[in-house]
Structure 1
Amino acid sequence: MKGIVLAGGNGTRLYPITKGISKHLIPIYDKPMIYYPLSVLMLSNIREILLITKPEFVGLYNNLLGNGSEWGIEISYMVQEDPKGIADAFVIGEKFIGKDNVCLILGDNIFYGQGFSPILEKASKKNNGAVIFAYYVNNPQEFGVIEFDEDFKAISIEEKPLNPKSNYAIPGLYFFDNSVIAKAKKLNPSDRGELEITDLIKDYLKEDKLYVQLLGRGFAWLDTGTYDGLANATDFVRTIQKRTGLSIACLEEIAYRKKWITTDQLIKTGKEYEKTEYGTYLKNIVKEDVKK
């Protein structure tokens, strides 16, 4: 399975912060925002990743992430000239996806919860159809909303409905089989000129190949596309890390635990970041392993 991080858009909800920088490079506490979606793909055992962004930001991402070898993954880059919608990622990434299935995550979505890794691994192994997630919210009118039965079978999908049929929003994380490319290419732009992810998901619903995975109590899903969203995400990550002593979205730790990088590689990065708490954390990972 391949992975795509969509880090496009103009970030207008965060002006003037994003007048000169991609919002996905803004820090969420101790690491760039882009680390968080990358960590989700890595936890899904996805090692070939395409990052889609605006042309003027490709160099910035390349400076930060390179080709991904630092974490034992492969990162490539493509551009989205204009914000043509989430589903446009599959048209742009057609050659990258090839004959594989694909996971798409939005660059400004943060997920956290116990047992998340097994859920991701299960979704990544689904060979036929699509897997989307459902998360309970108080304001479903602001999201794409999924209605499903007691067996978690999808019944209906609506985009920002005035009268929602449920309180379950669809987060920006999707697993699709390879037919997603053909489906995306057949979509007609919406009234706002975009290829809507909701329309794409509806195609799977019509084929009875749409599967819903509930993210229940204990899971956190944070959208960092607003000022308050940024502040809340930073407060959340800082609080969890300070109380538990465990880092969220530490790419080096994930890669090390999965044996994608060596101990020497982890030590090298720890030394590079030695003046930070992040570097100290990496060094402590090695120390704890030595004790064992």
Structure 2
Amino acid sequence: MKGLLLCAGRGSRLRPLTFSRPKHLLPVMNKPVLFYGIESMVRAGIADIAVVVPPGYRKSFDEALRGGAPWNIKITLVEQPEPLGLADAVRVAEDYVGGDDFLLYLGDNVIDGPLSPLIERFRLERLEGLVSVSPVDRPEQFGVVQLDGDRLVRVVEKPKHPPSNLAINGVYLFRASIFRAIAGLRPSARGEYELTDAIQKLVEDGRQVGVFRSPYWWKDTGQPKDLILCNQHFLRRLEGLRVKGDIDARSNVTSPVVVGENTVIIDSVIRGPVVIGRGCRIENSYIGPYTAIADHAVVRGSEVENSIVMEHAVLDNVPTRIDESLIGADARVIGQSQPPKRARLWVGDHSQMHLPR
């Protein structure tokens, strides 16, 4: 079985962060969102994976994936020339898939659970397709399934009047028959080729399409608040104190905390769960719970919690506590006064912010 990850979306809801990198490479606990999907596939025994990408970001994905490292697997990049919907993104990978079965995973989704039960059911029941679903509060924002008992009878994309609260959560399994269903599609009212229409075509043709009611935690990381929630979820799993850098005697560190190589912590308070990458400098600062600080960032005379600080960012004497925020790569947030005022920031890559004294 092959793996297929779709990463061709624009990421418009995450601008300005996505002006300089694809949303699938934004970090959760200092690891690109895309890596969570790849690692789930690898754990399920899939070692041949294609990633569908937009042409303008091919270099970014190529650099991030580095030929399959660190998983020692084969990764192929496939370009989707135009953002014409999920079904079109699958279609452009037809030559890669060939006649093989494949597991499809939306690259901006994170599902915290094993994929093996889905693969086993797909094979044992000899299904033509399988969709993983989760109950949601606002199904009109997703592709939604309608069931007759456990039998899939209808699937519809972002319906005004949802037939159920069961949303497709970004994981599917298909045989090659899905490409014939896609070939007969017409664009939807949104001007896109909808994968839900192709699945409905399989159902109408009498093909066996199963539904897996997922018990797993799931998050679509399409908005800043979702990245922060996802970061919280995985930081809750941290245990213990793992320090490869240097922490001076004046600092107070409460685990669980991870500190990377060549990172220096001086006269600061660190309250876990916190992850701090390599080559960082934390000085006279407070790093509160649920914060991930990426490699080579600097935090000086500032307070930050419940946030994601990306690589090479600088927080320098910020006069308010930074909370529930995304600080982009190479961003500089600079101030001169003391906390405790609270700021909520979505600061894009390479930007600067100078706060009043």
Same structural fold, with TM-score higher than 0.5 when normalized by the shorter chain: yes
Match of 2:174 among 159, 173, 176: 176
Structure 1 residues 244 and 232: alpha-carbon distance in aligned structure 2, compared to 1, 3 A threshold: farther
1:142-186 CA deviation, whole Å, 9 max, x = no partner? 111112233x21122222222222111111111001111222122
Match of 2:164 among 150, 154, 166: 166
Structure 1 residues 118 and 79: alpha-carbon distance in aligned structure 2, compared to 1, 3 A threshold: closer
Are 2:235 and 1:233 equivalent residues in the alignment?
no
8 Å Cα contact 2:118-2:212 kept in structure 1: no
TM-score (norm 1): 0.78
What is the Cα deviation at residue 123 of structure 1?
A: 4.4
1:215-244 CA deviation, whole Å, 9 max, x = no partner? 13xx211010011111111111111x2259
More strand by share: 2
- The whole-number CA distance in structure 2 between the counterparts of 1:179 and 1:27 is 35
Query: What's the RMSD between the two structures over aligned residues?
Result: 2.3
- What stretches of structure 1 move > 4 A for 4+ residues in a row? 273-280
By relative contact order (CA 8 Å, sep 6+), the higher-ranking structure is 1
TM-score (norm 2): 0.64
1:73-96 CA deviation, whole Å, 9 max, x = no partner? 100111112211101122211110
Tell me the amino acid that sits aligned with residue 87 of structure 2: A
Match of 1:242 among 238, 243, 266: 238
Aligned length: 247
- The whole-number CA distance in structure 2 between the counterparts of 1:30 and 1:109 is 16
- The whole-number CA distance in structure 1 between the counterparts of 2:231 and 2:69 is 27
- The whole-number CA distance in structure 2 between the counterparts of 1:169 and 1:202 is 15
Aligned residue for 1:193, secondary structure, equals coil
Provide the residue aligned with 1:221 in structure 2: 218
Provide the residue aligned with 1:205 in structure 2: 203
- The whole-number CA distance in structure 2 between the counterparts of 1:173 and 1:244 is 33
Compare CA radii of gyration and give the structure with the larger one: 2
Aligned residue for 2:186, secondary structure, equals coil
1:28-78 CA deviation, whole Å, 9 max, x = no partner? 112111101112222332111111111121112211212215312100111
Fraction of identical pairs, as percent: 32
Map of 1:43-62 to 2, 5 A cutoff?
A: 43-62=43-62
8 Å Cα contact 1:158-1:198 kept in structure 2: yes
Provide the residue aligned with 2:120 in structure 1: 122
Aligned residue for 2:86, secondary structure, equals coil
- The whole-number CA distance in structure 2 between the counterparts of 1:134 and 1:34 is 20
1:235-272 CA deviation, whole Å, 9 max, x = no partner? 11111x22599xxxxxxxxxxxxxxxxxxxxxxxxxxx
Map of 1:1-292 to 2, 5 A cutoff?
A: 1-113=1-113, 116-123=114-121, 125=123, 127-150=126-149, 152-206=150-204, 207-216=206-215, 219-239=216-236, 241-242=237-238
1:166-209 CA deviation, whole Å, 9 max, x = no partner? 11111111100111122212211112221101101101221241
Aligned residue for 1:64, secondary structure, equals helix
Q: Which runs of 5+ in 2 are unaligned?
A: 242-259, 264-274, 279-357
